[in-house]
Structure 1
Amino acid sequence: MERERRRRCEPVPVPYHRGGNRLHDKCADRIPNSSFPGGDVFVNGKNFDALQLATRTLWEVKTDNFDTYPEALREFVIRDQLAKLRIERDLARACGFDFRVGVRSKAHEEALEEADPTFDGLIVVMDWC
């Protein structure tokens, strides 16, 4: 059982980004100290956008133009993203990794943290993006 967990939790570099969105890929590749720029990293059944191996931190990147969305769309986006981010955070933590989410604006960061305070401190405004 421990051997299976170790295998599942070993980071496997993926030599490309799955999504095919150039802005998203650029932001993911510029995460400071990213161990595998140019691709995703597969851990615990999920492709994450980046890994900082030195700090054992897995990243997901959100490049929405959140600030331009009407209020109803903002609420929908936050609800949808948090449902997925909770799963991704749990997958990362189950393998002993920290988890961070990169967003493009302070408003997006604040909306995620306000909707789910357990993400406080896990959201990072990507000033490199």
Structure 2
Amino acid sequence: MGTVIVVGVVVVGFAIKEALDAYALDMGRPEVWPVPETAPALRKPSPKKRPKPEPKGPDFPPVEPPETSERERRRCEPVPAKRHLGGNKLHDKCADKIPNNSFPGRDVFVNGKNFDALQLAARALWEVKTDNFDTYPPELRRIVLEDQVPELQYERALALACGFNFRVGVRRAAHKAALESLDRNLDIVVMDWC
């Protein structure tokens, strides 16, 4: 019986030594476990943010302004009216003769407003003022400017919001100078064709 115990202890000792040797060999390498593979989670697009498209083609500004919705695109899409809405023959004649007017004889509806003309190639919306400004007395000039400048600033903001330039056509240099003295950001042209 003593021999069996001694042989059992030797076998156990041998097994322990084999385990220690195997452990010593593995000390130089980290133990690696297989990583379970999972499919990437699909992201739902945020209703508040629209994904930005990858740029394609040459690196120059787009022809149209960046849009955030179909509704906004429609709002900024120029729609020609059936005719000029004001009914002033001189005003309509001046608007029709704007160089490269895309829709002579018509107003153009953009962003909730009828503009007098559109130069599509230059992406410019026009508003025409046919006042005989230089013949007005000083008080009437002041009243005209107080009325026109905020209106023109608002129309300019509508045009710029849709990626259009905004130009104001006037008949007299005095009118141009008076408007520019109140707002240097307005692009004012004396209509020598009118």
TM-score w.r.t. the length of structure 1 is 0.96
1:34 to 77, 101, 104: 101
Question: Cα distance, 1:117 vs. partner?
Answer: 1.9
List structure 1 runs of 4+ shifted beyond 2 angstroms: none
Aligned partners of 2:164 and 2:105: how far apart in 1? Answer: 21
Structure 1: runs of 5 or more not aligned: none
Q: Report what 1:127 is aligned to.
A: 192
1:50 to 114, 117, 129: 117
Confirm or deny that 1:113 pairs with 2:177.
Answer: no
Aligned partners of 1:3 and 1:16: how far apart in 2? Answer: 27
TM-score w.r.t. the length of structure 2 is 0.65
Aligned pair count reads 127
Per chain length, whose mean CA-contact separation is higher, i.e. which structure has more relative contact order (CA < 8 Å, sep 6+)?
Answer: 1
Structure 2: runs of 5 or more not aligned: 1-67
Q: Larger C-alpha radius of gyration, 1 or 2?
A: 2
* SS of corresponding position for 2:189: strand
Aligned partners of 1:51 and 1:116: how far apart in 2? Answer: 22
Question: Cα distance, 1:118 vs. partner?
Answer: 2.0
The residue type equivalent to 1:62 in the other structure is K
Identical aligned residues as a percent: 69
Deviations 1:16-59 (A, max 9, x none): 00100000000000000000000100000000000000010000
Root-mean-square deviation (CA), in Å? 0.7
Question: Cα distance, 1:3 vs. partner?
Answer: 1.1
Question: Cα distance, 1:95 vs. partner?
Answer: 0.3
Q: Report what 2:57 is aligned to.
A: none
Aligned partners of 2:183 and 2:140: how far apart in 1? Answer: 17
The residue type equivalent to 2:139 in the other structure is A
5 Å-filtered alignment, 1:1-129, equals 1-119=68-186, 122-129=187-194
The residue type equivalent to 1:14 in the other structure is A
The residue type equivalent to 2:190 in the other structure is V
| Between structures 1 and 2, the one with greater strand share | 1
Aligned partners of 1:91 and 1:117: how far apart in 2? Answer: 18
The residue type equivalent to 1:104 in the other structure is R
Aligned partners of 1:69 and 1:24: how far apart in 2? Answer: 18
